[in-house]
């Protein structure tokens, strides 16, 4: 795609429907967010507006989406409006019955958070004993119900050396994708970054191993959403957007309707209740700045800037306050 | 052979860019670099130019020959060139798993 080519609307919306959660994750980005939620009627109207904007899919998150009592109604409504509906869940509340209900109400894909093939490591990271076992069962129930599943893993100090066993585990669980998420220093992730985040060299080592695993694994797709992998020659080709996808393909909606470029960037560009989404998408100065990042510091002379566009914008903002600054995870030295 | 879009692929046309491409064709200008639709699958994105878009829209059980006989009314090229370009496009789509074929 040409860099100046911009679709008329986002392709997908990540939509936090509740910030309530039954877990105690030390990296949670939404724990500090306000807990006010839109009323069901308002939310239904917003879903209709999103669908009319041409958006193709919504991914419900939070918080734990299943703690929102009307989740099934929301999903059914979104599905009836023509949106492809998916969700990220910790899986703790999924059983045989509601797995079928999720299918019936339009969920086509559900990602379950599992950060380690070792139950004790996952349980400790998520703060709830038995959560690994429940997540494993959730995937089983969802597969049985005919919903496409994926495993989402947040890479940090607890698991960065375990990509191979994690991949084997994902294959064993018969999920379609292993979504490997880089650690973001947002919310509690910022407070706990010293214990959890990797050094830039550890990130380099991790991505070398992860790309090898992706190359050799044919049974599942390993998805690496970090623009920094462009430094290793990955992520090229006409099917991928360069740099962060936030603000180029997707937007985030918070529980109170506030719209941000992504869940990890706390810059509100509007509100879905009062603002026209396509107008925001086209005219927001924040999105315009994200789409046209100006290299600073070591990015100025870096031969890879055209591929990674400075890396993850959320990390640059969280740790330096300026989206144009180099991604703090970048391992390349000053030229 | 009937050709079908992969139902897992989400897609939409981009009206503004489609208008640009049609205007370019009208003036005999180059339109091949203008993305007029967008495909979204497994977190990946692909843009199609005007020919790709028109072929893609017809992947609903029509055969290649049927597509070409319709599209020859739209594009000012010889049937042979259109057949070759459309076949090459469909080969690429098949390789990416975005279409399937049935006898």
Higher pLDDT, B103 or B68: B68
Interface touch B47/A1, C-beta < 8 Å: yes
Query: What is the residue-wise DSSP string for A213-235?
Result: HHHH--SSEEEE--GGGGGGT-S
Q: Residue A191 — φ and ψ, nearest 5°?
A: -60, -35
- pLDDT the model gives residue A335: 47
Nearest chain B Cα distance for residue A239, angstroms:
5
**Secondary structure element (H or E) that encloses residue B39, with its range:** strand B37-41
pLDDT (tens digit, 9 = 90+) per residue, A101-130?
Answer: 999 999 999 999 999 999 999 999 999 999
Could you tell me the CA-to-CA distances from A101 to A16, A18, A21, A86, A131 in Å, in that order? 20, 19, 21, 14, 22
Pairs of CB atoms within 8 A across A/B: 41
* B15 inside 8 A of chain A by CB: yes
Per-residue DSSP letters for A108-153? Answer: EEEEEE---SSHHHHHHHHT-TTHHHHHHHHHHHHHHHT-EEEEEE
Contacts of B45 in chain A (CB under 8 A): 1, 11, 239-241, 249
- Mean pLDDT in chain A? 92
- For residue B26, the tally of other CB atoms under 10 A from its CB is 10
Closest-CA residue to A152 (of A125, A120, A114, A190): A114
Instruction: Give me chain B's average pLDDT, please.
Output: 94
- A116-122 long-range contacts (CB < 8 A, ≥24 apart) are A116/A153, A116/A158, A116/A159, A116/A162, A116/A166, A117/A162, A117/A165, A117/A166, A117/A168, A117/A169, A118/A162, A121/A158, A121/A159
Q: Which residue of B has its CA nearest to A224?
A: B43
**A243-247, A248-252, B5-9: least confidently modelled range:** A243-247
pLDDT (mean) for A59-84? 97
Model confidence at A216: pLDDT above 80: yes
| Contact: B42, A1; criterion CB under 8 Å | no
The string of pLDDT tens digits covering residues B30-41 is 999 999 999 998
**CB distance from B14 to chain A under 8 Å?**
yes
Q: Among partner residues B33, B42, B45, which is closest to A11 by beta-carbon distance?
A: B45
Residue A225 pLDDT > 90: no
Answer whether B40 sits within 8 Å of A12, measured CB to CB.
Answer: yes
Confidence check: pLDDT of A236 > 70: no
pLDDT for the residue A240:
53
Å between B49 CA and nearest CA of chain A: 10
Q: What is the pLDDT of residues B6-56, one digit of tens each?
A: 999 999 999 999 999 999 999 989 999 999 999 998 878 899 999 999 999
Closest residue to B12, CB basis, from A56, A223, A239: A56
Contact residues on chain B for A54, CB-CB shorter than 8 A: 12
B32 CB-contact burial (10 Å; exposed 0-12 / middle 13-18 / buried 19+): exposed
Q: What mean pLDDT do residues A69-87 have? A: 98
Give the model's pLDDT for residue A235.
65
Nearest CB partner across the interface for B38, out of A11, A57, A221: A11
Out of B11, B17, B45, the one facing A239 most closely (by C-beta) is B45
Q: Which residues of A touch B (CB under 8 A)?
A: 1-2, 5, 7-8, 11-12, 54, 56-57, 84, 177, 221, 223, 225, 238-241, 249
Average pLDDT in the A34-42 region? Answer: 90
Average pLDDT on B77-89 reads: 95
The pLDDT assigned to A318 comes to: 92
H or E segment to which residue B52 belongs: helix B50-57
Say what the pTM is. Answer: 0.92
Note the pLDDT tens digit of each residue in A273-329.
999 999 999 999 999 999 999 999 999 999 999 889 999 999 999 999 999 999 999
Residue A143 has pLDDT above 60, yes or no: yes
Q: Which residue, A63, A36, A314, A323, is CA-closest to A190?
A: A314
């Amino acid at each position: 795609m040409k860099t100046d080519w911009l679709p008329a609307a986002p392709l997908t919306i990540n939509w936090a429907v509740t910030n309530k959660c039954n877990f105690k994750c030390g990296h949670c980005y939404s724990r500090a967010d306000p807990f006010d939620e839109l009323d069901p009627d308002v939310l239904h109207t917003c879903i209709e507006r999103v669908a009319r904007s041409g958006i193709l899919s919504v991914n419900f998150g939070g918080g734990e989406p299943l703690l929102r009592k009307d989740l099934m109604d929301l999903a059914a409504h979104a599905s009836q409006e023509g949106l492809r509906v998916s969700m990220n869940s910790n899986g703790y509340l999924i059983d045989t019955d509601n797995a079928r209900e999720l299918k019936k109400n339009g969920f086509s894909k559900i990602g379950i958070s599992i950060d380690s093939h070792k139950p004790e490591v996952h349980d400790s990271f998520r703060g709830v004993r038995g959560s690994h076992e429940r997540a494993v069962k959730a995937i089983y129930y969802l597969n049985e119900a005919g919903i496409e599943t994926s495993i989402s893993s947040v890479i940090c100090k607890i698991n960065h050396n375990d990509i191979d066993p994690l991949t084997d585990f994902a294959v064993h669980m018969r999920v379609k994708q292993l979504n490997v998420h880089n650690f973001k220093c947002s919310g509690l992730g910022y407070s706990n970054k010293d214990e959890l985040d990797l050094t830039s060299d550890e990130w380099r080592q991790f991505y070398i191993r992860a790309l090898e695993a992706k190359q050799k694994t044919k049974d599942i797709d390993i998805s690496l959403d970090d623009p920094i992998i462009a430094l290793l020659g990955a992520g090229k080709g006409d099917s991928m957007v360069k740099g962060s996808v936030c603000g180029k393909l997707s937007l985030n909606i918070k529980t109170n309707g506030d719209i941000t470029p992504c869940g990890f960037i706390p810059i509100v560009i509007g509100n879905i209740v009062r603002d026209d989404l396509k107008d925001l998408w086209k005219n927001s100065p924040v999105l315009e700045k994200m789409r046209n990042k100006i290299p600073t510091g070591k990015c100025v002379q870096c031969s890879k800037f055209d591929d990674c566009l400075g890396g993850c914008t959320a990390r640059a903002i969280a740790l330096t306050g300026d989206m144009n600054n180099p991604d703090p995870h970048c391992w390349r030295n000053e030229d | 052979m009937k050709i079908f879009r992969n139902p897992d692929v989400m897609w939409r046309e981009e009206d503004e860019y489609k208008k640009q491409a049609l205007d370019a064709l009208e003036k005999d200008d180059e339109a091949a670099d203008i993305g007029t639709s967008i495909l979204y699958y497994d977190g990946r994105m692909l843009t199609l130019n005007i020919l790709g878009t028109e072929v893609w829209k017809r992947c609903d059980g029509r055969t290649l020959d049927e597509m070409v006989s319709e599209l020859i009314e739209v594009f000012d090229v010889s049937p042979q060139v259109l057949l070759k370009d459309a076949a090459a496009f469909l080969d690429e789509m098949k390789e990416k798993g975005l279409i399937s074929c049935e006898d």
